[in-house]
């Protein structure tokens, strides 16, 4: 019987047969199921490509199918875009070609490596024009400009406007600008009246047309005359300058300063060359904003005083003194904490003040900021006296597309933790991309990539509660590429739902694929309780024979791995239709089943053993969120111990401390949390740079040790020998190697059978030494998984 086959699998011989001796080569080869999918996909892709199929290689087709998880449409579109030429573009209307000079066509040097046709990068290379003077840059493609299109850059005769240089006069002024300008002018006039005897000078100072040093050169007489004539139509300010022409006795200066730039542009080149570079007049906006230039002797004409400098509260020394931040940072630097570096000059200028201030705050250190207050609770007592429901988390595993996410979406909908209209919305959205059957799965699969591809990629968490229990769902990906994420989910679970696709062929595929691998991983990670959801029975007419067949085979396999029968329940369901999840099966074809619903089975699977509340705190970091405000939020499950607001925690392996500012359990703030709960905590006074996924939070008094070399008792899933590996524990992934095989062990007694074996065969138990590339937090009793090149090769306990 099939059951005994699996039980036997852990006999040496049976396992050797099962894996074969050529296990190494198999790593390069697709599994039979993938090969079958690949062949079907390749045929379909070729059909879809039609005549173009010959333009892509078999490898390109297979690579595309592999990347898109055998999605034929996506693969075809990828291949068309990347490897199949687009149809030739419609001919462009002919433009009269410029007459070509002989050299436009002929220049191709044999030395420069250019030739007609396609270059090495596939770009067509045009003929190289012969350039008048061959220089180093002649070969540059951007110099392939036909000779007749070459041009000489002539500097514009019109002056370039500077910042806020405006147009002419007030023509472009808005009503508001005119009003503001009139007011300003009035004020200026009033100020001038207050200074009798200085009127002329004052007016000249107010003028925006102050002469600059360069403007002291005298223009030729005829030009000055023309300039004077041209200025009659200028703006009021320019008229002021012009009016001075005759009045102030400095006709040349005035004339020059009132040159209209635009008019100047039409002067002869000869005149223009003899003139200093003309300056643009400020725009109306600039005049309104800044008023007129003030100090004719010192102010540059293109520099305006900033408006705030006229405020009574303006102090020119404001920014030459240290800011409050500068003072604090200086103090922190003194106290040995890193702070932003102050530039040398600033430091020199401010040293005196900073030192003085530092003396007051010298003892102020980031870690000296008073921690959030701890209530000093006896958390175990608090927990025991609280009436809160029990907590349990389960991981949902199984082969890809078995229906895990759909089942969880249905469960949450039936229990009213997700609204039906949300599902209706997902259905409408899914219809647009042909994925309406995934509407329920999208409750869990929130990432766009997951929705586009129709596969779960990372663990998705969600919560619901029944009368007795608060459940945390950890929905794992089924695809073999994401097994590390499944491991992360399984390491946090109290029990598991194993979803099996009962459909013809699908179950068999899964048993050879991730159904099998996930069961092995669950066992290795210490998950002992299982609810096996035999799904998609609607697709096989609720066949009791199919259900029995699956139940018997899987039972045998599970028993072979040491799962106890009483901890395993088989439940027939249809996640898509919602049968036997919360309510019984409606279809009369399933009248043979009178057992419990899935929800009842979940309640029964919750372990009754109390969590390890009195052990030292251990919380593996599952997710980290960093806020701008200096708070780091960490989520994960408390594996052992208790914690409360105000506790100092140490993050291992970095050894950095932080304080718990707040704890959130089930979306509510709590003063404490205990082992078994999935929580989020806000940590303060710690630089998030020291926190990584997979790190462990502990109390400093009994922190978990860190090391890079350890011995583990491993069950081999593949051949083991000294080789590079990846170690997985929760979210922790660490690269290292199997340093040595210490001994082969007896499966039942654990006694040494053989010292220093050369190789450990699949199914054997062995003691191996692992060396990692860096220190990680590890302690005896922890369960870890060893993978290599995308395959799980062993799992076991640290000794
Ligand atoms: N007929 C039928 N189809 C189902 C059932 N459950 C799921 N499906 C379909 O199976 C497909 C895959 O469902 P998912 O829920 O995404 O499968 P999954 O196991 O979560 O997939 P991964 O997480 O990517 O491994 C979807 O098209 C579902 O509509 C079921 O009970 N009956």
- Tell me how far apart the alpha carbons of residues 667 and 665 are, in angstroms, rounded to a whole number: 5
* d(CA 24, ligand 1 centre) in Å: 33
* d(CA 438, ligand 1 centre) in Å: 7
In this predicted structure, what is the pLDDT of residue 146?
59
The finding on whether 672 has its CB within 6 A of some atom of ligand 1 is no
In this predicted structure, what is the pLDDT of residue 258?
31
The finding on whether 539 has its CB within 6 A of some atom of ligand 1 is yes
Give me 546's structure tokens.
């199919």
Question: Of the ranges 70-84, 133-147, 217-231, which one carries the lowest mean pLDDT score?
Answer: 217-231
In this predicted structure, what is the pLDDT of residue 360?
41
Tokens 């799980």, located at residue:
792
Ranges 121-130, 212-221, 510-519, most confident: 510-519
Query: What are the CA-CA distances from residue 401 to residues 444, 480, 548, 579 (Å)?
Result: 14, 12, 21, 18
250-261 pLDDT, tens digit per residue, is: 333 333 333 333
The finding on whether 436 has its CB within 6 A of some atom of ligand 1 is no
Asked whether 71 and 105 are in contact (CB, 8 A), the reply is no
The finding on whether 401 has its CB within 6 A of some atom of ligand 1 is yes
Whether the per-residue pLDDT at 23 is higher than 50: the answer is: no
The finding on whether 406 has its CB within 6 A of some atom of ligand 1 is yes
Whether the per-residue pLDDT at 310 is higher than 80: the answer is: no
Q: Is the dihedral of CA 691, 697, 700, 703 positive or negative?
A: negative
In this predicted structure, what is the pLDDT of residue 33?
74
In this predicted structure, what is the pLDDT of residue 539?
93
In this predicted structure, what is the pLDDT of residue 95?
46
Pocket test residue of 427, 430, 440, 441 for ligand 1, highest count of atoms within 8 A of CB: 441
Report the atom number in ligand 1 closest to the C-alpha of 575: 31
With cut-offs at 50, 70 and 90, classify the pLDDT of residue 763: confident
The finding on whether 485 has its CB within 6 A of some atom of ligand 1 is no
- Tell me how far apart the alpha carbons of residues 476 and 496 are, in angstroms, rounded to a whole number: 10
Asked whether 214 and 241 are in contact (CB, 8 A), the reply is no
With cut-offs at 50, 70 and 90, classify the pLDDT of residue 220: very low
* d(CA 408, ligand 1 centre) in Å: 10
477-509 pLDDT, tens digit per residue, is: 988 888 888 898 888 899 999 999 999 888 888
The finding on whether 479 has its CB within 6 A of some atom of ligand 1 is yes
The finding on whether 576 has its CB within 6 A of some atom of ligand 1 is yes
* d(CA 600, ligand 1 centre) in Å: 22
Segment 564-569 mean pLDDT:
92
* d(CA 678, ligand 1 centre) in Å: 27
The finding on whether 435 has its CB within 6 A of some atom of ligand 1 is no
Tokens 């009798």, located at residue:
196
Nearest CA to ligand 1 atom 27: 437
Q: What is the fold of 706-798?
A: Elongation Factor Tu (Ef-tu); domain 3 (2.40.30)
Asked whether 635 and 622 are in contact (CB, 8 A), the reply is yes
- Tell me how far apart the alpha carbons of residues 326 and 315 are, in angstroms, rounded to a whole number: 19
Instruction: Kindly report the length of the chain.
Output: 799
With cut-offs at 50, 70 and 90, classify the pLDDT of residue 249: very low
Same fold, 386-605 and 618-698: no
Asked whether 718 and 779 are in contact (CB, 8 A), the reply is no
The finding on whether 514 has its CB within 6 A of some atom of ligand 1 is no
Angle formed at CA 351 by CA 349 and CA 353, multiple of 5 degrees: 100
Q: What is the share, in percent, of the chain residues with pLDDT greater than 70?
A: 60
With cut-offs at 50, 70 and 90, classify the pLDDT of residue 148: low
The answer, yes or no, to whether the previous bond of 653 is cis (omega within 30 of 0) is yes
Phi and psi at residue 750, to the nearest 5°? 80, 5
Give 603's Cβ-side CA count (13 Å radius): 12
The finding on whether 403 has its CB within 6 A of some atom of ligand 1 is yes
* d(CA 504, ligand 1 centre) in Å: 15
Asked whether 421 and 383 are in contact (CB, 8 A), the reply is no
In this predicted structure, what is the pLDDT of residue 792?
87
| pLDDT higher at 712 or 215 | 712
Q: What would the DSSP string read from start to end of 429-445? A: HHHHTT-GGGTTGGGT-
The finding on whether 404 has its CB within 6 A of some atom of ligand 1 is yes
The finding on whether 510 has its CB within 6 A of some atom of ligand 1 is no
Helices (H), 454-505: 483-490
The finding on whether 574 has its CB within 6 A of some atom of ligand 1 is yes
Asked whether 676 and 637 are in contact (CB, 8 A), the reply is yes
- Tell me how far apart the alpha carbons of residues 567 and 324 are, in angstroms, rounded to a whole number: 64
589-617 pLDDT, tens digit per residue, is: 999 999 999 999 999 999 877 677 889 99
Angle formed at CA 788 by CA 790 and CA 797, multiple of 5 degrees: 115
What architecture does CATH give domain 618-698?
A: Beta Barrel (2.40)
271-290 pLDDT, tens digit per residue, is: 444 444 445 556 666 665 55
Report DSSP state, residue 100: P
Whether the per-residue pLDDT at 233 is higher than 50: the answer is: no
* d(CA 792, ligand 1 centre) in Å: 25
In this predicted structure, what is the pLDDT of residue 116?
30
45-87 pLDDT, tens digit per residue, is: 999 888 888 888 898 899 888 877 788 888 888 888 888 866 5
Pocket test residue of 396, 401, 507 for ligand 1, highest count of atoms within 8 A of CB: 401
Residue 263 β-bridge partners: none
In this predicted structure, what is the pLDDT of residue 599?
95
The finding on whether 437 has its CB within 6 A of some atom of ligand 1 is yes
Report the atom number in ligand 1 closest to the C-alpha of 399: 25
In this predicted structure, what is the pLDDT of residue 151?
58
The finding on whether 472 has its CB within 6 A of some atom of ligand 1 is no
Q: Is 660 helix (H, G, I), strand (E, B) or coil?
A: strand
Whether the per-residue pLDDT at 295 is higher than 70: the answer is: no
Give me 540's structure tokens.
């096989």
* d(CA 405, ligand 1 centre) in Å: 7
Give me 741's structure tokens.
């095989």
The finding on whether 460 has its CB within 6 A of some atom of ligand 1 is no
Give me 640's structure tokens.
């052992």
Phi and psi at residue 136, to the nearest 5°? -60, -35
* d(CA 567, ligand 1 centre) in Å: 25
The finding on whether 535 has its CB within 6 A of some atom of ligand 1 is yes
Residue 669 β-bridge partners: 664
The terminus-to-terminus CA distance of the chain in angstroms comes to: 37
* d(CA 442, ligand 1 centre) in Å: 11
Nearest CA to ligand 1 atom 7: 403
Question: Of the ranges 238-247, 478-487, 570-579, 593-602, which one carries the lowest mean pLDDT score?
Answer: 238-247
Per-domain residue ranges for the chain? 34-83, 386-605, 618-698, 706-798
Nearest CA to ligand 1 atom 12: 401
The finding on whether 717 has its CB within 6 A of some atom of ligand 1 is no
The finding on whether 400 has its CB within 6 A of some atom of ligand 1 is yes
Q: Is the dihedral of CA 262, 266, 271, 277 positive or negative?
A: positive
- Tell me how far apart the alpha carbons of residues 106 and 768 are, in angstroms, rounded to a whole number: 73
Residues 6 or more apart in contact with residue 736 via CB below 8 angstroms: 708, 724, 725, 726, 727, 770, 771, 772, 773
The finding on whether 408 has its CB within 6 A of some atom of ligand 1 is no
Four-way CATH pick for 386-605: 1.10.730.10, 2.40.50.180, 1.10.260.40, 3.40.50.300: 3.40.50.300
Number of Cβ within a 10 Å radius of residue 722: 15
* d(CA 546, ligand 1 centre) in Å: 18
In this predicted structure, what is the pLDDT of residue 457?
86
Nearest CA to ligand 1 atom 9: 403
Helices (H), 530-653: 544-560, 598-605
In this predicted structure, what is the pLDDT of residue 282?
60
In this predicted structure, what is the pLDDT of residue 444?
87
Nearest CA to ligand 1 atom 5: 576
In this predicted structure, what is the pLDDT of residue 455?
78
Q: Are strands 469-475 and 648-652 parallel, antiparallel or unpaired?
A: unpaired
The finding on whether 676 has its CB within 6 A of some atom of ligand 1 is no
Nearest CA to ligand 1 atom 10: 403
The finding on whether 259 has its CB within 6 A of some atom of ligand 1 is no
* d(CA 574, ligand 1 centre) in Å: 10
Report the atom number in ligand 1 closest to the C-alpha of 402: 19
The finding on whether 475 has its CB within 6 A of some atom of ligand 1 is no
In this predicted structure, what is the pLDDT of residue 343?
33
- Tell me how far apart the alpha carbons of residues 620 and 261 are, in angstroms, rounded to a whole number: 73
Which of 607, 585, 608 is closest to 596 using CA atoms? 585
- Tell me how far apart the alpha carbons of residues 347 and 456 are, in angstroms, rounded to a whole number: 55
Asked whether 582 and 598 are in contact (CB, 8 A), the reply is yes
Whether the per-residue pLDDT at 226 is higher than 70: the answer is: no
Looking at the predicted complex, does its ipTM rise above 0.90? yes
The finding on whether 585 has its CB within 6 A of some atom of ligand 1 is no
The finding on whether 410 has its CB within 6 A of some atom of ligand 1 is no
* d(CA 406, ligand 1 centre) in Å: 5
Q: Is 452 helix (H, G, I), strand (E, B) or coil?
A: helix
Report the atom number in ligand 1 closest to the C-alpha of 437: 29
- Tell me how far apart the alpha carbons of residues 328 and 312 are, in angstroms, rounded to a whole number: 29
648-691 pLDDT, tens digit per residue, is: 999 999 999 989 988 998 888 888 999 988 999 998 888 888 89
């Amino acid at each position: 019987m099939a059951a005994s086959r699996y039980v036997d699998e852990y006999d040496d011989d049976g396992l050797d047969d099962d894996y074969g001796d050529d296990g190494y080569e198999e790593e390069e080869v697709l599994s039979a199921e993938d090969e079958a999918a690949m062949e079907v996909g390749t045929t379909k892709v070729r059909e879809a490509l039609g005549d173009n199929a010959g333009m892509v290689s078999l490898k390109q087709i297979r690579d595309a199918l592999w990347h898109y998880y055998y999605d034929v449409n996506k693969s075809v579109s990828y291949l068309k875009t990347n490897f199949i030429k687009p149809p030739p573009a419609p001919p462009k209307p002919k433009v009269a070609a410029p007459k070509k000079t002989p050299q436009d066509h002929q220049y191709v040097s044999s030395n420069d490596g250019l030739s007609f046709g396609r270059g090495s990068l596939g770009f067509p290379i045009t003929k190289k024009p012969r350039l008048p003077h061959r220089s180093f840059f002649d070969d540059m493609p951007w110099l392939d400009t036909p000779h007749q299109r070459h041009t000489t850059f002539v500097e514009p005769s019109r002056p370039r406007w500077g910042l806020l240089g405006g147009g002419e006069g007030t023509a472009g002024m808005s009503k508001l600008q005119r009003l503001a300008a009139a007011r300003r002018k009035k004020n200026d006039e009033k100020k001038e009246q207050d200074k009798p005897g200085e009127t002329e000078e004052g007016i000249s100072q107010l003028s925006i047309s102050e002469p600059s040093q360069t403007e002291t050169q005298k223009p030729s007489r005829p030009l000055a005359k023309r300039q004077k004539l041209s200025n009659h139509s200028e703006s009021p300010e320019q008229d002021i300058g012009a009016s001075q022409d005759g009045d102030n006795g400095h006709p040349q200066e005035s004339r020059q300063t009132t040159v209209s730039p635009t008019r100047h542009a039409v002067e002869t080149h000869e005149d223009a060359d003899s003139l200093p570079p003309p300056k643009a007049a400020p725009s109306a906006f600039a005049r309104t904003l800044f008023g007129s230039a003030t100090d004719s002797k010192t102010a540059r004409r293109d520099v305006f005083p900033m408006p705030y400098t006229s405020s009574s509260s303006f102090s020119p020394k404001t920014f030459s003194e240290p800011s409050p931040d500068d003072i604090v940072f200086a103090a922190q630097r003194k106290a040995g904490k890193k702070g932003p570096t102050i530039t040398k000059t600033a430091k020199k200028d401010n040293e005196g003040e900073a030192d003085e201030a530092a003396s007051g705050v010298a003892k102020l250190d980031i870690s000296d900021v008073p921690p959030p207050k701890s209530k000093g609770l006896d958390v175990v007592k608090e927990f025991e006296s609280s009436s809160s429901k029990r907590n349990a988390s389960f991981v949902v595993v199984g082969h890809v597309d078995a229906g895990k996410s759909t089942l969880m979406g249905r469960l949450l909908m039936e229990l009213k933790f997700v609204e039906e209209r949300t599902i209706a919305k997902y259905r409408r959205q899914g219809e647009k991309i042909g994925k309406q059957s995934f509407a329920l799965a999208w409750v869990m699969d929130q990432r766009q990539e997951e929705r586009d591809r129709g596969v779960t990629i990372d663990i998705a968490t969600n919560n619901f509660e029944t009368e007795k229990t608060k459940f945390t769902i950890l929905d794992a990906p089924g695809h073999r590429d994401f097994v590390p994420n499944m491991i992360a989910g399984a390491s946090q679970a109290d029990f598991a739902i194993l979803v099996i696709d009962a459909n013809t062929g699908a179950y068999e595929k899964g048993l050879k694929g991730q159904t099998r691998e996930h069961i092995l991983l669950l066992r290795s990670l210490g998950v002992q309780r299982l609810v096996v959801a035999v799904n998609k029975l609607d697709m096989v007419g609720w066949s009791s024979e199919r259900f029995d067949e699956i139940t018997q085979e899987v039972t045998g396999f599970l028993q072979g791995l040491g799962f106890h029968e009483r901890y395993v329940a088989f439940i027939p369901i249809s996640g898509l239709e919602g049968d036997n999840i919360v309510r019984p099966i409606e279809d009369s074809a399933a009248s043979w089943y009178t057992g419990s619903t899935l929800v009842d089975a979940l309640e029964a699977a919750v372990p009754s053993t109390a969590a390890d509340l009195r052990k030292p705190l251990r919380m593996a970091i599952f997710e980290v969120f960093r806020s701008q405000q200096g708070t780091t939020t960490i989520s994960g499950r408390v594996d052992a111990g208790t914690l409360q607001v105000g506790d100092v925690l140490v993050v291992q392996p970095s050894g950095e401390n932080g304080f718990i500012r707040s704890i959130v359990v089930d979306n509510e703030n709590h003063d404490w949390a205990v082992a078994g709960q999935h929580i989020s905590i806000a940590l303060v006074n710690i630089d998030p740079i020291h926190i990584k996924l997979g790190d462990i939070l502990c109390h400093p008094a009994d922190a978990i040790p860190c090391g890079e070399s350890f011995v583990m008792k491993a069950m081999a899933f593949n051949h083991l020998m000294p080789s590079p590996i990846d170690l997985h524990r929760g979210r922790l992934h660490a690269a290292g190697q199997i340093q040595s095989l210490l001994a082969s062990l007896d499966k039942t007694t654990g006694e040494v059978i053989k010292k220093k074996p050369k190789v450990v065969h699949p199914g054997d138990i062995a003691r191996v030494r692992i060396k990692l590339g860096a220190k990680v937090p590890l302690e005896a009793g922890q369960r870890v998984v060893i993978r290599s090149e995308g395959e799980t090769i062993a799992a076991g306990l640290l000794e």
